[in-house]
Chain A
Amino acid sequence: MSLALRQTQALSRRAVIRTLRIPQAWVPSLFFPLMLMAIFSGSFAQAPGRIPGFPEVAGFIDFVIAGIILQAVLISGTSQGAALAIDIEGGFFDRLVSSPVSRLALVSSRILANVVQGIAYALFFIGIAMVFGARIEYGFLGFLLVLVFTALLAAAAGSLGVVLALRSGSAEAAQGSFPLFFALMFFSSAFFPRETMDGWFKVVADLNPISYIVEGMRVPIVGIGDTTDVLIGLALVVGLVALGFIACLMALKRRLRGDL
């Protein structure tokens, strides 16, 4: 294994261990999505088939899994960003930078850590949903496809957290930008189909790439939609990951130059 990969792995491991040791770093990623899942699937239990335009899915809880996972990785991405900002504020980051560590490993480790955590959250939420009667229509391969979407979403969310941390160098700023991403998630079809929307909200949701990503991710779970929807979703989320990663590298370069 090349040294850069070993460094990425060691730093990711440290990031995940740290998350596990601080309940405040992982409880919100479980608690808030779980609450939302309970509220929505309780409130809209009758929606599938009764609300005009709502797709004929097996249950609302099946429909909402993808959105719930998205929420969990966004929360954990912000929290990875905050953890990096704490490293910067406290000087731990300087210690790393003054060693010959691969510069790429500094950012990719955080993103990788969020992917690992995202997969764990996805397994948790899919498990809970199945206990409450949800099932994945496309079976095991469908399940794997959901995990692929999860990993990519987590990578995008993680890179967002990293960019904010590198640019601001402040945990508060990284944490504080969180509502913005929440808005991006809520103004999409993450929790409700675009078919039931109207007016400006529908316009925003139609323009929001998150809508198409979540819809693609939902296909293997609810069994509605086709390969094109999956591919569009995948292409968009891969695009977000690429943009996020480039933004990370630019932010890192700026921080290392000491121009901030």
Chain B
Amino acid sequence: MNDAAIEATGLAREFKGGIHAVDGIDLRVSSGEVYGFLGPNGAGKSTAVRMLTTLLAPTSGSASVAGHDIVGDADAVRRNIGVALQDAAIDPFMTGRELLKLQGVMHGIPRSDGGRRAEELLRRVDLMDAGDRRVGTYSGGMRRRLDLALALVHEPNVLFLDEPTTGLDPISRQTLWTEVRRLNAAGTTVFLTTQYLEEANELADRVGIIDGGKIVAEGTPAALRAEVGEPTLSVALEDSVQAGLAREAMARFGAFVDTDEQSVAVRLPGGSSALTEVVRALDQCGVVPRGLDLSEPTLDDVFMAKTGRRLEADEAPES
């Protein structure tokens, strides 16, 4: 036994044709943690989740979930995990309640408890009114909520969510986040994959950045961002004359970052604590800023620093 909810050593999966979808990853997710797997499409996130949820055997390495080996003791793993896979179609011809009861039987929940449990979950994910309607009539957000409810039928210790909010509108996304936070607060370990920076930032206690089947960086979102460097202060100005003045005033605070002609930006090692001084310096030089923006490095900057590429940040939702 160990107190890690998920532990992987050199976990790898090679597909026919020599494609290393997951190329040896080491992981340790503690009980009660929300771990976010962040990476672009094709990075190996789903393959890793399929291995950890016993759907796919690793070609090398090993892993245990909830203290059970994913290969040797797969059934024990399955009893302890809840799984909501990416784009998992929910049979559109069945009702939400029917599917919840069916899932209950799959987990060995006694018939007498199955109905009550279905009712409870429908209420919890706010599908009471839709419970007896066929899933085909549900909206995308409703399906994801049912999907989550299906993963919770047996009150699992470890919850796997593979891109739970991809394609959802911001409101449905928020609803799902709230539920995930609630579950986590109640003690459920959550392993989540996402290609959204904001999602990783908002939900995850720790983030692993995966690219090309390898974990390229790991840590708390704050630690990862700090690793990349200082926040950037950019000052928007009236014209290029003002910009010239500002440039002189700000030179001593940090290295310049490329911007357009009407703004000046520097990396600010001191962060917000240096802000007052910068403003004072600008004022003394007669600069009238039109706007100030102090931005922390994002996880995208981390991704950029580690892989030399950008995650598709434009796909991420606005907060």
Contact = CB atoms under 8 A, between A and B. Distances in A.
**A, B in one complex:** yes
Interface of A: 3, 6-7, 10-11, 14, 17-18, 21-22, 87, 89-92, 94-101, 257-258
A258 B55 contact: yes
A100 B102 contact: no
B81 interface: yes
Given A10-B105, A98-B54, A99-B103, A92 B93 contact: no
Chain B CB within 10 Å, residue with most, of A3, A22, A101: A101
Interface residues of B, number: 30
A21 B93 contact: yes
Interface stretch (B30-38, B84-92, B118-126, B286-294): B84-92
A202 B108 CA distance: 53
A90 B88 CA distance: 6
Interface string B268-303: 000000000000000000000000000000000000
Contacts of B78: 98-100
A4 to B, nearest CB: 10
A96 B55 CA distance: 10
A251 B90 CA distance: 24
Given A98-B83, A100-B78, A18 B106 contact: no
Chain B CB within 10 Å, residue with most, of A11, A99, A101: A99
A17 B134 CA distance: 12
Given A21-B134, A22-B93, A100-B79, 18 more contacts: A10-B102, A11-B102, A14-B102, A18-B91, A18-B93, A90-B88, A90-B91, A91-B85, A91-B89, A92-B90, A92-B91, A95-B85, A95-B103, A98-B78, A100-B106, A258-B50, A258-B55, A258-B56
A111 B139 CA distance: 33
Nearest to B87: A91
Contact of A87 (B57, B91, B101): B91
